[in-house]
Structure 1
């Protein structure tokens, strides 16, 4: 199973302090290998391509006993076209389909819709066999779209052609092109559904379009938007599949994985429970699907910081996987268990678990590298830094060999390793690893959200080590990437703006700092709530910035908000309340001194002026 790339970095861990101990999450499930093979989604309900029949088939009205009448030249041509169409429709192998298409295209006009539908069928077939020639698939799709769309009518065939071209564009990493085509296909399908004008069941086509929209948006880093399309996929499957079918259970789990990948564990939990309920009822307590459901539940409970429940689900999953002899999945589950044990502070147990996993891994495998990372994590928590560094050196040695093969996974591992070096106050090493990770991620378009996280972490560490001017561009880039990936109100964006505010304060630019703190406060109030600790601290930072600018009225307003918020926390925040009250009094004192100085400055010119007038008169 793939690890989730959407993981909070230590700049954001105040909200999810145990995020570094999360088991490896699944990213939203990628497209099937043949994304435009719509029939593979729901084979029982898939509408066939609406291929019009040649008129010659209705001409055979003579008695079987009567001698065949000679055909006219027009009837002969119609019969030839009919035979070519039948040969094309009956072809099954790739060679036969391409040969039949070549014969058919010579017999049809370029504007004939039958040729457009034939192009669509060939393109879909090539996708279904995982053809690597995406340009060829794109060519068939564009040709089909040009013919079928010439009248500008909304039809199922046009939507399918748009989906095919969008799929080929996706495979060619032309994500903006893919998104535009798929949005139009979605609008056409929506119109057909509202009008009830389609004689075919359009739901399988709609599902394929929604799934590809989700994957395209994910590839562009727009993961929050992708969740909307994944929700639509589930709704379509709910309308087609039996309510207790295994496939529907998998659909619930897929969506739960997608929410977990963006750390939205509250939304993921009921979806995963629904998947588990269906799979237990249909397949029994000890099925593989139930094992996968329970493993995901372990991940979700870890994200919710309910580690005991997480470990319980993980152990149940392991038991099933052992019975089925699923070695690789079992190793991943055991690695999950070790990370949960670390989150629980059971470091010795985690190390013993990891020692068992190491014995089952290949010398240069990625799993082995990740085991050593987790081992180092446990040792760091025990302050056994020498042993931890040795584990990290072994892990990096393995990962270096995998950089070209699995750059996304290696880059993410480097990020986790950098966090451990940071724990050991090895900041330069941590920054070096993060920059190495960033260089790899920047070449992978679909890892934009990871790029934002890594940039944020580099900026934060540079700020921490006093390299403020170097930190700012990294954090500014991070804010833009994360806004595109998770939306402008995600709490991670708020933390970046808060760090930017701190950087500008260090650079003695309080006005710019106040702008950053204000953005951070607005985001945190929405995402975390007005009384969250980090929201209150940002409010105090905003007051400090206004105070540094000499805008004492605004400074007093925000510091008073901080005092009121700490009061709402009750006795548990008495120290914070005392400090906030002290700062409020300090700002009041500065404001009073500023007003006194202003009055004195206003009075002085008037005094000097009145003295000056007589002296001048005396001169005259």
Structure 2
């Protein structure tokens, strides 16, 4: 008699996935090989793994005031506005003024008079817009030199080396406030900050904006540079560098200033940015974020009275992201559809912002299980994005992986593999050695694992592990997941020593990064205990399972499904050790916990009842065993349906108990039910299980004296064997080869 071992631990033995999903999650997924919980946060997608563009997620809005940045959870545009001087004086700054000098002015080493500062500044702005960054920097430097010479500023050179697209050296500025030179300096520093932003030199940009902020605060809200604009640029930089608390401080201060000025549109924009920061807070405060997004939407709609506004589309998209994370997929779809309608009306059908929303809709459909609709939207994204980005872009790679996942879930393995390979090629071309490449390799490993192709699965996992170790820190959880997957493969191949080696590596990382008592430690310990169990090292297995149980009880208390799983596993080991009474207590405690959480008719309840029945059979307690088997069968019919193959094992045991009791007619009844289910589920080319059931039934008929019924069963068994082209030498009844039956019954179709 064997114990039912399926589901006997907390998904132990399953492959872990760290691909994206849907979601977002940062823990590793358990369950099927295509587990969907996300591990990776793609570069350029700090917001979420589903972000469609590999751009910094900041949307810059430009109006007739000052710079306004509006965060969008999916894409980024950088547009910059500079402060330009008129010749009327340093204090008079007109954001829409025409430049006073052309970019052709010579850059000399002499002292520029104070009157030339507006011209120099505006030329620097023009050169920046023409992407002549080194020359633009020289004009801004001349402005500061002139301020020093005319107003008595003392400062070290702001930038002594020419800016290139990749390197720069910026030195600090020490300014002494004299007369109104501070106002001019704040403008120049602001413009230099914008220049650094264009070059993605965030540290230098932050230095310029911080110094401009000091000067602007001294000038007050009537100064030439908006304090709000400076604060929002600082907030943007802090956000880009994931300094979320500092970004929040900057935006909340900006909101205080803006409420004084009462610019409702900019207030809406700042509120949206604060919502994004709440969205990205360590615990993802989606409820608070949603409040801000809804408030921003309300303000903008009241001010504009225009339903087709691109920023409203941004706010709607962000609200959709919150609903998505809260698994309110219908509400998320409503917001995404509204955003898509606006973006299509404003931008047409082939804009990347439209593609971004199309992707979000597809992803939401994917999460809802509407795979065909999700695939349709993913394909629409590809039609737009490939034209704009080319075949070898990181976002194309991400989308190909998403499409592969759908085919994977549909078990169209050949198609899935083809898309994974395309995703891998695009990812390697766009990213080279990168966590996203490792994610694709992991998913390919999962696919091979599901197909039973352990050699190829192992190759994919090991290649992914090499990538992860090259680009991630040594204690990164993705490395743990991949080590675990490799351990699972080794276990499946019976290489128990190798499996334990990889599990121990994973455990070492987890212990160092999570401590000794984290629930994830219990998962790895359970995997190790299972290896000992399968290697028949039952005492070692028991010790490790008990440690996993201790961790889970400390973390979750007694009433938790993971605790119940550990109790079930311990019951299995105790059964193997012959400690039936202790095993029964462990199973009974597991049963009590699962019933309290899952109810009385869950599949996992049936499994525990089956195991309890098995113990009773081993102890010769047939009545108790029969009661448990029948309750198992009842629950399985409810949970799985009357034709599910899992019912076969339970029915066979019920029939066997009746047989042992001498209740032959009852035994035949249950074996006939087994035969009915097998005929529904078993292929004619592999009839061995049906044949065995027919032989068992024939033997009961013979024992009961029903020879005609016995002959009918054996005739059918022989027909199936011969039709499948198999050897009938193993087709025996009570030890005798039924050769004469084979001669008397020629090949024919199996009985219906």
- TM-score surpassing 0.5? yes
> 1:422-437 alignment to 2 at 5 Å?
422-423=449-450, 424-426=453-455, 428-437=458-467
Could you tell me whether the CA contact under 8 Å between 1:291 and 1:317 is conserved in 2? yes
Larger mean CA deviation between 252-261 and 236-245 belongs to 252-261
Instruction: State whether structure 2 residue 478 is matched by structure 1 residue 453.
Output: yes
Q: How does 1:6-85 map to 2 (within 5 A)?
A: 12-14=29-31, 19=36, 27-28=50-51, 40-44=60-64, 46=66, 84=117
Q: Are 1:462 and 2:487 counterparts?
A: yes
Question: What does the per-residue CA deviation read over 1:60-80, in whole Å, with 9 as the maximum and x for residues that have no partner?
Answer: xxxxxxxxxxxxxxxxxxxx8
Q: Which residue of 2 aligns with 1:539?
A: 564
Quote the offset at 1:299 in angstroms.
2.7
Give the aligned partner of residue 212 of structure 2. 144
Rounded to whole Å, the distance in 1 between the matches of 2:278 and 2:196 is: 19
Verify: 1:125 aligned to 2:194, yes or no. Answer: yes
Whether 2:208 is the aligned partner of 1:179: answer: no
In structure 2, the CA distance between the partners of 1:41 and 1:580, relative to structure 1 (3 Å rule), is farther
Contact kept in structure 2, 1:117 and 1:157, CA below 8 Å: no
Equivalent pair of 1:501/1:515 in contact (CA under 8 Å) = no
Q: Select the residue among 601, 624, 629 that pairs with 1:569.
A: 601
2:146 alignment partner, SS class: helix
1:73-472 equivalence runs, <5 A: 84=117, 88=121, 92-93=125-126, 94=128, 95=136, 96-106=139-149, 107=151, 110-112=175-177, 113-114=182-183, 117-128=186-197, 130-148=198-216, 160-165=229-234, 167-168=236-237, 175=242, 178-192=243-257, 196-198=259-261, 202-203=266-267, 206=270, 210=274, 213=277, 222=282, 224=284, 232=292, 235-236=295-296, 239-240=299-300, 242-253=306-317, 256=320, 268-279=332-343, 293-314=357-378, 328=391, 339-346=405-412, 371-372=420-421, 402=429, 405=432, 407-423=434-450, 424-426=453-455, 428-442=458-472, 451-462=476-487, 465=491, 466=496, 467-468=499-500, 470-472=502-504
Q: CA deviation at 1:142?
A: 3.5
1:32–1:118 Cα change, 3 Å: farther
Task: For residue 560 of structure 1, report the CA deviation from its aligned partner.
Answer: 1.2
* SS of corresponding position for 2:454: coil
Contact 2:529 2:544 in 1 (8 A): yes
**8 Å contact kept, 2:465–2:483:** yes
Is the partner of 2:594 in helix, strand or coil?
A: helix
The corresponding residue for 1:591 is none
8 A contact 2:567–2:587 mirrored in 1:
yes
Q: 1:122 to 1:187 in 2, by over 3 A?
A: same
The worse-fitting range, judged by mean Cα deviation, of 407-416 and 85-94 is 85-94
1:559-584 deviations in Å (ceiling 9; x for gaps): 411244454335x5563251365599
User: Does the 8 A contact of 2:352 with 2:384 survive in 1?
Assistant: yes
Q: Is the 8 A contact 1:498 1:517 kept in 2?
A: no
Distance 1:442 1:81 in 2: 53
Q: How far is the alpha carbon of 1:126 from its aligned partner?
A: 0.9
Task: Name the CA shift for 1:478/1:225 in 2 (closer, same or farther; >3 Å).
Answer: farther
1:578 aligns to what? Answer: 609
Change in CA separation of 1:573 and 1:420 when aligned onto 2, cut-off 3 Å: closer
Unmatched 5+ stretches in structure 1: 59-79, 355-369, 375-394, 587-620
* Cα shift at 1:294: 3.8
- Structure 2 Cα separation of the partners of residues 166 and 10 of structure 1: 29
- The 3 A distance-change label for structure 1 pair 404 and 298 is closer
Q: Structure 1: how far apart are the matches of 2:449 and 2:205? A: 48
Evaluate the alpha carbon distance shift between residue 17 and residue 125 of structure 1 in structure 2; reply closer, same or farther with a 3 A threshold: closer
Shift of 1:147: 4.3
Q: 1:114 to 1:481 in 2, by over 3 A?
A: farther
CA-to-partner distance for each residue in 1:34-78, whole Å, 9 max, x for gaps? 96xx9x4242454699999999899xxxxxxxxxxxxxxxxxxxx
Shift in Å at residue 401 of structure 1?
A: 6.6
Deviations 1:298-331 (A, max 9, x none): 3322232222332444566678889x89975998
Instruction: Summarize the Cα distance change of 1:47–1:321 in structure 2 as closer, same or farther, 3 Å threshold.
Output: closer
Correspondence for 2:107: none
**Once the two structures are superposed, what CA deviation does each residue of 1:399-426 show, in whole Å capped at 9, x if it has no partner?**
8975974523322222223323433223
- Cα displacement (A) at 1:438: 1.7
* Offset, 1:86: 7.7
Larger helix share, 1 or 2: 1
- CA distance, structure 2, for counterparts of residue 116 and residue 515 of structure 1: 64
For residues 218-273 of structure 1, give each alpha carbon's deviation from its aligned partner in whole angstroms, at most 9, with x where no partner exists: 9xxx5836996687467535533644324433553466568869998667434323
Mean Cα deviation higher: 183-192 or 287-296: 287-296
Change (3 A) 1:283 1:213: closer
Change (3 A) 1:227 1:575: same
Q: Structure 1 CA distance, aligned partners of 2:333 and 2:262?
A: 39
Residues 321 and 332, structure 2, Cα contact 8 Å, conserved in 1: yes
Residue aligned with 2:199, SS: coil
Computing the radius of gyration over CA atoms, which structure comes out larger, 1 or 2?
2
Partner of 1:364: none
Task: Give the Cα–Cα distance (whole angstroms) in 2 for the partners of residues 582 and 399 of structure 1.
Answer: 54
Equivalent of residue 523 in structure 2, options 498, 503, 514 = 498
CA separation in 1, counterparts of 2:220 and 2:402? 53
Distance 1:553 1:340, change over 3 A: closer
2:739 corresponds to? none
How far apart are the structure 2 equivalents of 1:476 and 1:159?
49
After TM superposition, the score normalised by the length of structure 2 is 0.49
Change (3 A) 1:551 1:99: farther
Cα pair distance change 1:199/1:311, threshold 3 Å:
closer
> Number of matched residues?
484
Residue correspondence of structure 1 range 543-562 to structure 2 within 5 A? 559-562=591-594
Contact map agreement 1:301 1:310 (CA 8 A) in 2: yes
Displacement of 1:457 in angstroms is: 3.5
